[in-house]
Amino acid sequence: MFSRRDFLRTTALGGAASLFSPHVLLSATRPKKDKLGIALVGLGYYSTDLLAPALQLTKNCELVGIVTGTPSKAETWKQKYNLKDKNIYNYQNFDQIANNPDIDVIYVVLPPSMHREYVVRAAKAGKQVFCEKPMAPSVADCEAMIKACADNKVKLAIGYRCQHDPNTQAYMKFAKEKTFGKVRMVTCGAGYFDARTTHWKQNKALGGGVMGDMGVYALQGARLATGEEPISATAQFHTTRPDIYKEVEETATFQLEFPSGALAACHTSFGINMNYLQANCEKGWFKMEPFSSYSGNKGSSPLGAIDFPLQSQQAKQLDDDVEALMKSTSLIAPGEEGLRDIRVVEAIYKSVANGGKTIKI
């Protein structure tokens, strides 16, 4: 069994290694790999049920390490994925990952309030960084994460899996090429009924609230369907379960205005099931339902069906991002993309705090 004693031994060994093996020296002497090694930080539902299985399907990368505060999880993952003891870390010895040449990329899959700390620490360890969405609770956090990665000459990718989905890319192409003329109105909804009561999504200190989570999908839908960045936001919050959503919003509706004059009406909720997008244009329309599910996203337009099969969004996201690292090409969703969303989210919160006033962005 992988015990607490093993954790302490790993800590001690890692500490000794750090005296002799600065990550800058390691990175300079590492041979090029056919596959990059990824370590997942945080072993909750998304890592366990989606990312780890996806990493069994990837061509450019593989699961080689984990970071967890629970020794029993470490043992389970070690056995299931044949992980080496030296690639298993906890939150105390995390920084010693700098000296581990097996691990090239650190994927932060923690509550949003912890994203900044672990992205910055990963960057200082000299590792490439992937971070799950929402990027962080504030613009200031996002900017600090981007700066830390730039200062340490590593890349930062945000886990916007849908942007890697060919179905999403199809409607983004309509916007970019103005296939049906300019987009005039987008209506978009992303939500589900969450029966949990003590998850981070209900906890303000951990980065909870629907706007930072499902709200980002609705916001992304509007941004990607117009191909523009909003210039103003107006918003309203609601709850039907005030005993659970005491600190954060359960449901949000918000309206966006874009430079071209396009408008968007967006809805998001932890209490209502919805997943749709429709864009009405000068000379036509396109729609998706669902538009942001883990699988099966599909839609239509006057040109026909939008329905491109995809085995795993997460596997494609990981392979796309790692290929960009290997070839030194642009990431599909770099840190700046996460920042753009959180800038609008902050404006939405400001609108609600000011009685639904329209806030310029």
The residues carrying an active-site annotation are 133, 217
CA neighbor of 261 nearest in space, from 285, 226, 305? 226
How far are the Cα atoms of 83, 91, 141, 202, 224 from residue 130, in angstroms, in the given order? 20, 17, 15, 24, 21
Peptide bond just before 137 cis, omega within 30 deg: no
**226 near 264, Cβ under 8 Å?**
yes
What distance in Å separates the CA atoms of residue 216 and residue 341, rounded to the nearest whole number? 7
Q: What is the DSSP track for 285-335?
A: EEEESSSSSSS---EEETTEEE----S-HHHHHHHHHHHHHHHT---SSBH
Question: Two tokens at 152?
Answer: 């340490």
Amino acid at 342: I
- Helices and strands: H and E segment counts in the chain: 11, 15
